[in-house]
Amino acid sequence: MILLALFVVLRAAGMPHVKIGVVGTGTASIFKEAMQSSKELLDVAFAPSKATGKVSATKLPKIGNKTTVLYPASEKASNEIEEGLSKRGFEVIRMNTYTMVPVQNVDEMVLKQALASPVVTVASPSAIRAETGEGRTKCNFEVLT
């Protein structure tokens, strides 16, 4: 989702030479795969040693006196990255490119498979909060870090 939003913005801007930073190596590998298939000339210039917003905000290299960062994010994402970068002197432009909403209907077979699985993975902390929050079906999750 974020990659698509980023491509739309960059194409509208005439595909300027920009440096791409990602929050983790998983995103970096997906980004590189998308770049190879689209034949665009964008490279991941930064991936932090640990995939957290705090580490990203602390370790992103600054280029020159004024570095502007376009930060596409979930509407529900914390302000940790933008606040951390701003404190370091970056100009941060946040774009809320998507949001998370609870699933309204799940295929019965998919639900049975998920509930019978020894491990269920999720893509974001907000997905866990949505599924275990008020008024939702309570599942017994063991969070692995």
- Give tens-digit pLDDT for 44-84: 888 888 988 899 999 999 888 888 888 888 888 899 999 99
Q: How confident is the model at residue 135 (pLDDT cuts 50, 70, 90)?
A: very low
> How far from 42 is each of 9, 36, 91, CA to CA, in Å?
13, 9, 21
What is the distance between the alpha carbons of residues 13 and 20, in angstroms, rounded to a whole number?
15
Which structural domains are found in the chain, ordered by start? 2-98 (3.40.50), 102-145 (no CATH)
Q: Assess whether pLDDT exceeds 70 at residue 140.
A: no
Q: Which two tokens stand for residue 111?
A: 């639900």
Strand partners, 136: none
Query: Which whole number is the average pLDDT over 19-39?
Result: 75
Q: Assess whether pLDDT exceeds 80 at residue 6.
A: no
Number of Cβ atoms within 10 Å of the Cβ of 27: 17
Per 3-state DSSP, the chain is made up of helix, strand and coil in percentages (nearest 5) of 40, 15, 45
- Give tens-digit pLDDT for 80-130: 999 999 999 999 999 888 877 777 777 888 878 878 887 777 666 666 666
What is the distance between the alpha carbons of residues 45 and 43, in angstroms, rounded to a whole number?
6
For the whole model, what pTM was predicted? Answer: 0.62
